[in-house]
Amino acid sequence: MRGYRDGVLHVDGVDLRRIATAFGTPCYVYSRQQLEANWRAYDTAFGTRRHRVHYAVTANDNLSILRILKHLGSGFDIVSGGELERVLAAGASAADVVFSGVGKSRAELVRAVSVGVSCINIESRGELDRIGEVASELRMPVNLALRVNPDVDPKTHPYISTGLKENKFGVPLEEAADLYRIIAAHPLLRAAGIASHIGSQLTDIEPVLDAVSQVVTLAESLRAEGIELEHIDVGGGLGISYQDETPPPIAKLVAAVCERVPARYGVMMEPGRSLIGAAGTLLTTVEYLKQTPVKTFAIVDAAMNDLMRPALYEAWHGVVPLETAADGGALVHCDVVGPVCESGDWLARGRDLPARPGCVLAILDAGAYGFAMTSNYNARPRPPEVLVDGDTFTVIRARESLADLMANERNHLIP
């Protein structure tokens, strides 16, 4: 958990100045304790109800994070073959994996079926045909769920809403029954469940429940014609409070979902952000305070390549100083921006911060879709990732080197 002690920001038992000194900035820091508490909040909220929590690897795919979740008993929701290999490398079993995603390649499907993932969430007729062929070629049975698109408005940023009919995701509800009949008729395909994921950073429970009700109605009508599904996968999407959002508590969401799903079905969830988002912090050092006739910029050593969410979604992240009152704490009204050659390279706008050159700032709630969306734009090596475990900390990904960045390039001595 994050908080000030004697005027210095700590994550659990660790003074963040120690991490900034040991590894430099920019640097991601995660709290193991917070991640575990969040995962347990989901798991315990289900009580005795048949359920499985699959962590959405897309939010943060660091091997150590995956390993911690595996030890808790988590399953994993993946959206690519690369994520499958990461989950396996972290020591999890393919039987703990659900494979989502709108554009799975043949090679990805072959690998997923060969290792025996527990369920593949199918998103189109074309993909269903392809998985049928793959199962026949490999002569292996495959558990499937259809990801349906319930056409509900999740009331979130348009780039992260997925359950509207104009989105690329899922199968329209009215087409789903036909596809289930195709699955049921195939000798190697098994209709195991039904899935829906309507978007991310959801702060309103109603659209989720609306989607769940529609999915349950479909499952029940399939049952009436002899296609009996075992589970209902309600996706992920629960938001966190970056600024003043008030998402429902995990337990409330789980209880409301369980209430709407008949007991004959197991319930699956695929949370990402609500597990790792608030557990992560990005440390960055102020390089310059630059005053222009219009405003003041705190130019820091992290940039849009290290945390893309503000540039991409105009996302708001809290920014706080590592030390509360280094020199009396006079506040500067400023935009926090990076060194990248784009005006869109900003991390926070219009903040009042005790920013001085050399001081370290913490960008809060950066654990989900932070490191996962980093790039090497402007030939910037990716930052390190550090895990705080109680009073100790350890690096779980080293800072990338410039040699790493150039390693795959060939023929650069072309005359």
Chain residues that interact with ligand LLP, rule: CB under 6 A: 56, 58-59, 77, 79, 100, 160, 197, 200-201, 235-238, 270-274, 309, 313, 368-369
Contact 404, 381 (CB under 8 A): yes
| Distance in angstroms (rounded) separating the CA atoms of residues 271 and 327 | 41
Q: Is the dihedral of CA 173, 178, 182, 183 positive or negative?
A: positive
Verify whether residue 119 is a known catalytic residue. no
Name every residue whose Cβ is closer than 8 Å to that of residue 249 and which is 6 or more positions away in sequence.
Answer: 41
CB of 15 to ligand LLP, least distance (A): 29
Catalytic pick among 119, 334, 341, 359? 341
In angstroms, give the least distance from the CB of 221 to ligand LLP. 24
Q: Which is nearer to ligand LLP, 313 or 316 (CB)?
A: 313
**With respect to ligand LLP, which residue has the nearer C-beta, 249 or 390?**
249
Smallest gap from residue 325 Cβ to ligand LLP (A): 32
Cβ 55 to ligand LLP shortest distance, Å: 9
Minimum CB–partner distance for residue 14 and ligand LLP (Å): 26
In sequence order, what are the residues at sequence separation of 6 or more whose Cβ sits closer than 8 angstroms to the Cβ of residue 66?
A: 55, 57, 76, 86, 87, 90, 92
Nearer to ligand LLP, 272 or 384 (CB): 272
- Minimum CB separation of residue 56 from ligand LLP in Å reads 3
User: Is 236 in contact with 220 (CB distance < 8 Å)?
Assistant: no
Peptide bond into 262 cis (omega under 30): no
Q: Give 59 or 142: the residue with its C-beta nearer to ligand LLP.
A: 59
Q: Which is nearer to ligand LLP, 369 or 393 (CB)?
A: 369
Which class for 409: exposed (0-12), middle (13-18), buried (19 or more C-beta within 10 A)? Answer: exposed
What letter would DSSP give residue 12? T
With residues binned 3-state (H G I as helix, E B as strand, rest as coil), the percentages for the chain, rounded to 5, are 35, 25, 40
DSSP string, 315-381: ----EEESBTTTTTT--EEEEEE-SSSSTT-EEEEEEEE---TT-EEEE-S-SSSSGGG---GGGPP
Q: Alpha-carbon dihedral of residues 240, 170, 216, 266, nearest 10 degrees?
A: -70
Judged by beta carbon, residue 62 or residue 274, the one nearer ligand LLP is 274
Task: Write out the catalytic residue numbers.
Answer: 341
